[in-house]
Amino acid sequence: MSHPARSVYVASLYLIGLGCGLIIIPNIVLSLFGLPPTHEVWIRMLGMMTLFLGIFQNRIARDELRSFFRLTVILRLSVVGFVCGFILMGVAAPIFILITPVDVLGAGWTWIALKREQVNPASC
């Protein structure tokens, strides 16, 4: 597995774990963000979609789909803008900013791995 693929693969494991957590123990995950428990189905639906996204990323990493790797960098970095926007609009608590470092670090890892391959393609 190439270095960029490995970075996307690790991100997929994070998403799969988060998705499973939101499906199986949603109120524990919500409590980490200081949110009240819910018994509505929406949180489990979000978990399902997160799980599916993780499964897609897992497969894409194993299949070495390079164009997707670049897209994940852009999308993961956009998480910061969306979260900040939600906070500024007053629809999300400031604590949600704590989810953004995972995406920024993961995007950075993938971006650096892609750049290193461009510089020295024979090493990967």
Number of domains in the chain: 1
**What is the chain's Cα-based Rg?**
16
Domain that holds residue 65: 3-123
- Rounded Cα distance, 94 and 34, in Å: 11
Question: What whole-number distance in Å separates Cα of residue 62 and Cα of residue 3?
Answer: 11
pLDDT (tens digit per residue) in 14-48: 999 999 999 999 999 999 888 899 999 999 999 99
The CA distance from 103 to 46, in Å, is 17
Among residues 66, 69, 61, the alpha carbon closest in space to that of 16 is found at: 61
User: pTM for this structure?
Assistant: 0.86
- What tokens does 23 get? 């499906």
